[in-house]
Amino acid sequence: MICILLVAGHGTVLETQIKNDDTGLYSLLRGVPKALLPGIGGKKILDFWWETVNMRQLFTEVYLVTNADKYKHFERWATANDFPVENVINDGSTTLEDQLGAVADLQLAIRSRKLQDDIMVIAGDMLCADQNFDVAQVIRFFRSKPGELIIYYELEESEKSSSRGIVEVCPDTHRITRFLEKPQEGLTDSRLASVVFYCIQRDTLSHLSDFLSLQPQASDRSFGRFWEWLVNDKQLDVFGMKLPTGFQLIGQVGLSDYTKWLTHYSTKPQDNPAKPITFRSYARVGLMGNPSDGFNGKTIAMSISNFWAEVTLVESQTLVLVPHPLNDPTEFGSLQDLFCISRKEGYLGGLRLLQATCKKFYQFCSKQGIALTKQNFTLKYDTNIPRQVCLMKFYNITDNDLPKPIRANFILNVETDELFITAGLQDRVVQVYEGLVYMDFSKKLMEEQGYGNYVPMDMSGLPPFWLAYLSDPSDSGRIHSNIRQRWLSGEPLVVEAMKTFAELTDKARMALRARDWSSLAQLMDQNFELRRTVYTDDCLGPGNLKMVQLAKQFGSAVKLPGSGGAVVGLCLDNARLVELRQAFQEAGCVFCVITPYNPSASTVGGQH
């Protein structure tokens, strides 16, 4: 691949204002080309781009196209920065009036050097808010698509779409469906702005001549007009890739705009990389319908603040995953100590989940056309969840990039695809949405949109749910047994049971809305008995059955909140609830009254 840096524009406004500035602050910048003005971090703007593309493993050659008026400046710059002077191309223009136009400058480079390869085009006088993005990831995404590539970013609130080339992008294919050059207000709802950063296939380069023949005026030979023609008129396949950072093309801006954007980008949070990012994810309990979430059923689940997992991420030189001293032990008192801990807790610490999440996050962003910055971090976690991630914030990935329903699928895929853990969507959905959530996983929804219908519910005035769990928890995967195979084969008992779980969930939803706690308690009992019928006692295990039996002795509704090792209940008699707690504790179980976690009433960050 060949890279071409374009710096041939004539910035008469900025240059004139610097020349006429009487404060003396900019006297050293008089006559300096836009691309050689100071950029972020004290570097010249062009220095950053040269450092970004100066990689022989990615580019066979890098060329620089400038004008005759500033040619000497760039020749000196090339000599000082180990840029091949013979690759600096002079387009012959000396003023704004006799300029060739950006597309014509690109065509000049291609023809004069007889280039026959894929081309990356970048405006060398463009300020970039983030100095660490990975250009190799851009090239990989370009290679994966059957067309051209346009880099875009999401406009900040202060930026107007009428000042930029705006793209409309298909979220599924990443194909650019429409390109609008500086559209008037109301023409599009898109806030995705294209910048002069493109990848063009060698077979498409011939279209440059066709476009130029249609545009005799240099002012119309801009890349914005070219992409409008190529996307809207020619309807060629052009794809978009998002960089989670901002860009500003110096172009025809004045001194105040240049200094404003330079200051704005230089004071972004990235200048304080040591500040840690912390997010907390709360434990979840399935109140109704589980385990039908994996069988096109319906469920209701709730976040609880009694138990949580917390992840802290801070920028560092290398990427480090810190083992948890209790959950990821690497040092033991003796071989017997290792044996006892491994027998009770297994080998499934949190470190492998963090590693799998990081891997899938990079894979997801690459596939979705989101280029990540080349930043590393140290990641550590803590949890008080009994045995049985902030990446989005760090890389400036928005909810539009990774919507909540897709995020739930992503988290589930980390467990099922990477770690082969038996799991369903219910926990992942409530983990992302938080609070009390009704979920419909019907086959029609899942096949048409790839996710279900997820509805947050009112959490005010909930009754006193309780949770109890075994001090020696079971493996959360065993209880799923062979149900999936039986369901896929169409066994009537299993198929009808999953439909009944969904019906119970709809009834529970109405009971929650009506504050009918007695009906809700009866439905919880029915949920357990139905599960027991389908899964059998052997599968549920003696520990789970013992806890259920104990709860029933005190008149409490009870069911399994997840895969096993714990029970959730609803006891409407406060006096019996006290007795129930004591009975569970005497039986060697851990018991607590649930504190629901309401995200609308909390400022603590959730799962990312």
Q: pLDDT by residue (tens digit) across 97-151?
A: 899 999 999 999 999 999 999 999 999 988 777 667 788 999 999 999 999 999 9
190 shares its domain with 121: yes
In a domain, 273, yes or no: no
For residue 168, give the nearest of 127, 121, 228, 113 by alpha carbon.
228
Per-residue pLDDT reduced to its tens digit, 124-138 = 988 777 667 788 999
Q: What is the CATH number of the domain that holds 524?
A: 3.30.230.120
Q: How far is CA 157 from CA 164, 192, 222, 255, 453, in A?
A: 14, 12, 25, 21, 31
In a domain, 602, yes or no: no
212 shares its domain with 320: no
CB 371 within 8 A of CB 134: yes
CA distance 510 to 503: 11
> Which of these three, 205, 237, 267, is where a domain ends?
267
Residue 605: Cβ-neighbour burial (10 angstroms; 0-12, 13-18, 19+): middle
In a domain, 391, yes or no: yes
236 shares its domain with 312: no
DSSP 8-state class, residue 460: T
* pLDDT band, very low/low/confident/very high, at 185 (cuts 50, 70, 90): confident
pLDDT greater than 70 at residue 13: yes
Amino acid sitting at position 123: A
69 shares its domain with 112: yes
What's the pLDDT at 271? 44
What's the pLDDT at 389? 53
Please tell me the total count of domains within the chain: 2
210 shares its domain with 89: yes
CB 446 within 8 A of CB 297: no
What's the pLDDT at 157? 83
Domain that holds residue 38: 2-267
CA distance 280 to 311: 6
Catalytic residues: 427
> Which of these three, 246, 267, 288, is where a domain ends?
267
244 shares its domain with 319: no
In a domain, 606, yes or no: no
Question: Which segments of 35-82 are extended strands (E)?
Answer: 61-66
263 shares its domain with 327: no
Amino acid sitting at position 597: Y
* pLDDT band, very low/low/confident/very high, at 270 (cuts 50, 70, 90): very low
Q: How many residues does the chain have?
A: 608
CA distance 569 to 522: 11
389 shares its domain with 285: yes
What's the pLDDT at 406? 92
255 shares its domain with 307: no
pLDDT greater than 90 at residue 391: no
Mean pLDDT calculated for residue range 538-555: 93
> Which of these three, 235, 267, 299, is where a domain ends?
267
In a domain, 607, yes or no: no
258 shares its domain with 295: no
In a domain, 584, yes or no: yes
In a domain, 408, yes or no: yes
112 shares its domain with 163: yes
Per-residue pLDDT reduced to its tens digit, 434-481 = 999 999 999 999 999 999 999 999 999 999 999 999 876 543 335 456
Buried b / exposed e along 483-495 (16+ C-beta atoms within 10 A): beebbeeeeeebb
Q: What is the CATH number of the domain that holds 131?
A: 3.90.550.10
Q: What is the pTM of this model?
A: 0.76
208 shares its domain with 330: no
CA distance 538 to 543: 11
In a domain, 166, yes or no: yes
